[in-house]
Structure 1
Amino acid sequence: MASQVLLMLGLAAVGQAAKGVKNNDPVCRGSETAPEQLHFNYAGDRGMTVSWNTASKLQSPAVRYGRGSQLDKIAYSDVSVTYPTSTTYSNHVFIDGLEPDTEYTFSVLCAEENDHYRFKTSLPAGNPRPYTFAYIADLGTMGSLGLSDYGQSDALSPGEITTMQSLRDFKDEFEFMWHNGDLAYADDWLKEEQDGFLPNTTIEGGAAVYEAILNAFYNEMAGNVTMERPYMVGPGNHEANCDDGGSGDYTESICVQGQTNFTGFRNHFRMPSAQSGGLENFWYSWDYGLVHYIQINTETDFLGAPDLPGGSADENAGPFAPNGTQIEWLRKDLASVDRKKTPWIIVAGHRPWYVDDAQCDTCQAAFEPLFLEYGVDIALFGHKHFYERLSAIANNNPDPRGLDNPSAPWYIVNGAAGHYEGLSSYDTPVANYTVKAIDTVYGWSRFTVHNCTHISQDFIASGNGSVIDSATLYKKHDGCKF
């Protein structure tokens, strides 16, 4: 059966087919095919990709779905993929022809009878309804395999609410979540052993620890938020290889096949690159209401990229496309934005070039000229494990108008979500373009798109849900009618 094909069945046929998307189907084999790590993401205005993992391969992953309680449609695919060292298969089903801004109920193959979930499709481009989204970066595994309340310099206080739990508590207030790189921190397994946080094992045994951390993270995320809100992701350096680019006397050469070159990241997600002309989960875009969102890849595939051979990060990952492909795609994508429908453009990339710490100068050289040429409004980054709200900036100079209708993008760095490595300290004195810096609190960003002239950002302290920094950008967009 062709990959990602939607079958719109008649009611009688659906009734029969639906029986085959339950745990009592002959293809379902108990724990071998029981779904876990459920998540879903936008795939165009009228599409959604539903993804989950199973211990064994599914020959034909399937999703039942429908409006209300009627799961009267079914979508199939043949995408059930794995890689060496993985203990699961990633299953992906693309559903098309959905009504925009509409809630659907769904269930996946081999789920229990009453395991029904809901997703809401994308708000059509140009729809002026206000909404909120959550933004995170550098969020890793929690508990016994990651950030916990013991064994680390930046450990959680006993009983402290984590960022995952905070997102769960606030999920009714945001419509989707954007995770801009550095996901599970599975590549910290060696560091955790060297620190005495995890028991020592062999290099070969470390491959199993790496996979255990990945699985724990995706299950934790599903249990807290990704089963209920769309989850958009981008690449960070911690997705590249198994050992954080070298820990102690080791380098990426200790990584076994399947734990190099973003392999797990490439298997686990299916971001909307097909709908936006992008590449896999590395670079893509989507529209939502008054905003055109763009995910870029600051790790590979541009001149001087950190993870390419000879780059500063020593990961030796990529490239994934011919030289210049990502930059050319970004230029075309920016040029194609209909600013009358989506007056706002927000871009996210993992490594920042404006930050009060080591900067990615090659990232700046590659991307900033396009940001300025095409009027990007907001640029979001992570990588640095603190929160830093900057001014609007162009060519290293803060815009004199600040956030009052600036001509340059507004930059925000937020890598304070929390993971085994903990928080970092920013340098002092801060740069002349830094407005607010916080390096003592785990947290995430809440963005509210009010209309075509105002967007607000709040930094939420995960531990208690308080807003500890807030600012609003005003932009006078041409043709703004709302």
Structure 2
Amino acid sequence: MFQTLRPSVVLSAVAFAACATSKTAGGDNGPVPMQLRLAYSGNTGMVVSWNTYSQLSRPTVRYGLSPHDLYETAWSTISITYPTSTTYNNHVQLRDLKPDTLYYYQPEFSNSTTPYTFRTSRPAGDGTPYSIAVVVDLGTMGPDGLTTHVGKGAGNPLRVNETNTIQSLSRFKSGYDFLWHAGDIAYADYWLKEEIQGFLPNTTIAEGAAVYERILNDFYDEMTVVTADRPYMVGPGNHEANCDNGGTTDKVHNITYDVSICIPGQTNFTGYRNHFRMPSSESAGLGNFWYSFDHGMVHYIQIDTETDLGHGLIAPDEPGGSEGEDAGPFSDIKNAQTNWLAKDLASVDRSKTPWIIVAGHRPWYVSAQNDSSDVCLDCQNVFEPLFIQYGVDLVLSGHVHAYERNVPLANYGVDPAGLNNPKAPWYITNGAAGHYDGLDSLLEPLPYYSAFAQDTAYGWSRITFHNCTHMTHEFVASANGTVLDSATLFKKRTCDVQKNHGYRGHDSH
């Protein structure tokens, strides 16, 4: 029972000190790397990130073209943490790598006898077919998250022995180049809801910080099977700003919690900003919030639908909204993100990277039950005109925990060409990756622009670029790997792309 909890409870100095010293909980394993994750760093670089229980004075990575000769060394001074975290985040950038080449690498103090591997980015203009994996709204699996049972009020548990999304991504990772996760990572902020619903044992608010960090670490541990050898490109979602699921209510004790229970370090995207290093400096973007990169015949753009929308607009339940959290903006320049987006789109060489794919967390074309927070009309106001102006091919989102594929749309108007050389962007929402709280129910009847939708199966997106004119999107059911929906977009154009370009250095994945 939450007998000691009150909406205004804050972390005591003693409890805060206990959290601060808990980073040494790993004992002798203090410097041993865990939670390995990769990220593209421009066309010739890779960022290697990992966590440790103790701070490293000089995080170091050895790497090379042979598992028996890691002859190169890179290091940094970035070993950072934040209040209440139990680990340190270490980031090292490897520069001047050969394109589309398999490398072997090993962070210092690793207890693995076999080096890890990664493949560098395909150069722009390489027309070789490839696939990527995309998830949104993916949470921790297992005893602290999505499993075979739920608490009171939750739904959609896994069936016994059912394959979850992280396991499915691992099973099929030989078939995609990288994983793109456009927001809502781990759902560690659900700890309070999970306790109120009787899914996890009750704690006090002060002890909640430890529960939050445990769920967060569980997620990154689980993801390592994918992220240690596939670049893990991420974007911000609303759950990267939260610590208490914003306004959780304990009906038994008639208590509604708000941001006053949030511990510094778990709000304002703090964990997210510490944990990742996306290629914003290489693309003139900002932090892990908005950036772009090229990979083969595709230009990828990550946008931020949570903050910095410009024109005085904010996401419905973010800063100044119902939750009242202090989250952003992250730029001091007015309209920084939209100005960057316009410049980035204008600079794309469509002869070499004919495809432009954008991912942002919140959708605006979706059959949502709660339009006030699920449909981001402010996002539409600032982003859609640029997508139309510059001919963006595909826009990916989540936030609504279901899958919906729409027809190409512009200002609510259906492109008469459909998927056969449309001028309007193609919108797909897939927030069905899975987390503790299950799936959302789509609002029926479906709108006129909806081509296919489902809200009963967990799954992820696989996007295949066949050439400069044909791209296929598939919804893959995590439970058994079957494709529940597939559609191919055709664009009539001439491109200056060639297969392989003589790269594919070393052996392939």
TM-score, normalised by the number of residues in structure 1? 0.92
Residue 150 of structure 1 and its aligned partner are, at CA, apart by: 1.1
State the match for 2:288 in structure 1: 281
Letter in 2 for 1:397: G
Residue 311 of structure 1 and its aligned partner are, at CA, apart by: 3.2
State the match for 2:223 in structure 1: 221
Query: Does residue 159 of the first structure (1) align with residue 126 of the second (2)?
Result: no
Preserved CA contact (<8 Å) 2:285 2:291: yes
State the match for 1:462 in structure 2: 478
Distance (Å, rounded) in 2 between the aligned partners of 1:134 and 1:316: 32
Preserved CA contact (<8 Å) 1:138 1:181: yes
State the match for 1:338 in structure 2: 349
Preserved CA contact (<8 Å) 2:238 2:318: no
Preserved CA contact (<8 Å) 2:395 2:428: yes
Task: Answer with 288-297 or 298-307: which moved more.
Answer: 298-307
Preserved CA contact (<8 Å) 2:130 2:177: yes
State the match for 2:278 in structure 1: 271
Letter in 2 for 1:123: R
Query: Does residue 256 of the first structure (1) align with residue 257 of the second (2)?
Result: no
Residue 313 of structure 1 and its aligned partner are, at CA, apart by: 5.7
State the match for 2:319 in structure 1: 309
- Relative contact order (C-alpha < 8 Å, sep 6+): which is higher? 2
State the match for 1:177 in structure 2: 179
Q: Secondary structure at the match of 2:216?
A: helix
Q: Deviations over 1:7-52 (max 9, x none)?
A: xxxxxxxxxxxxxxxxxxxxx9830111110000100110000000
* Structure 1 gap ranges (5+): 1-27
Q: Deviations over 1:40-88 (max 9, x none)?
A: 0100110000000000100000000000222000001000000000000
Letter in 1 for 2:340: W
CA RMSD of aligned residues (A): 1.3
State the match for 1:90 in structure 2: 89
Q: Secondary structure at the match of 1:143?
A: coil
Q: Equivalent residues in 2 for 1:45-124 (5 A)?
A: 45-69=43-67, 70-112=69-111, 114-124=113-123
Residue 127 of structure 1 and its aligned partner are, at CA, apart by: 0.4
Residue 477 of structure 1 and its aligned partner are, at CA, apart by: 2.7
Preserved CA contact (<8 Å) 1:308 1:319: no
Q: Deviations over 1:416-439 (max 9, x none)?
A: 000001001000010111000000
Distance (Å, rounded) in 2 between the aligned partners of 1:197 and 1:82: 29
- The number of residue pairs the alignment matches comes to 454
Query: Does residue 321 of the first structure (1) align with residue 323 of the second (2)?
Result: no
State the match for 1:33 in structure 2: 31
Preserved CA contact (<8 Å) 1:304 1:311: no
Residue 113 of structure 1 and its aligned partner are, at CA, apart by: 5.6
Distance (Å, rounded) in 1 between the aligned partners of 2:47 and 2:322: 35
Residue 112 of structure 1 and its aligned partner are, at CA, apart by: 1.9
Q: Which of these residues, 257, 281, 302, is aligned with residue 295 of structure 1? A: 302
Q: Secondary structure at the match of 1:207?
A: helix
Preserved CA contact (<8 Å) 2:195 2:201: yes
State the match for 2:247 in structure 1: 246
Distance (Å, rounded) in 2 between the aligned partners of 1:254 and 1:221: 29
Distance (Å, rounded) in 2 between the aligned partners of 1:52 and 1:481: 35
Q: Deviations over 1:131-173 (max 9, x none)?
A: 0000000000011110000124210001100000000100111
State the match for 1:202 in structure 2: 204
Distance change (3 Å), C-alpha of 1:35 and 1:318: same
Distance (Å, rounded) in 2 between the aligned partners of 1:187 and 1:273: 26
Identity of aligned residues (%): 58
Residue 352 of structure 1 and its aligned partner are, at CA, apart by: 0.2
* Structure 2 gap ranges (5+): 1-25, 250-255, 499-509
Distance (Å, rounded) in 2 between the aligned partners of 1:481 and 1:279: 30
Q: Secondary structure at the match of 2:396?
A: strand
Distance change (3 Å), C-alpha of 1:469 and 1:190: same
Q: Secondary structure at the match of 2:210?
A: helix
Task: Answer with 83-92 or 152-161: which moved more.
Answer: 152-161
Q: Secondary structure at the match of 1:145?
A: coil
Distance (Å, rounded) in 2 between the aligned partners of 1:313 and 1:372: 32
Letter in 2 for 1:84: P
Distance change (3 Å), C-alpha of 1:385 and 1:314: farther
Letter in 1 for 2:104: T
Q: Which of these residues, 405, 408, 412, is aligned with residue 428 of structure 2? A: 412
Distance (Å, rounded) in 2 between the aligned partners of 1:445 and 1:113: 31
Preserved CA contact (<8 Å) 2:468 2:495: no
Q: Equivalent residues in 2 for 1:301-450 (5 A)?
A: 301-302=308-309, 303-306=312-315, 308-311=318-321, 314-322=324-332, 323-357=334-368, 358=371, 359-450=375-466
Distance (Å, rounded) in 2 between the aligned partners of 1:113 and 1:170: 23
State the match for 1:20 in structure 2: none
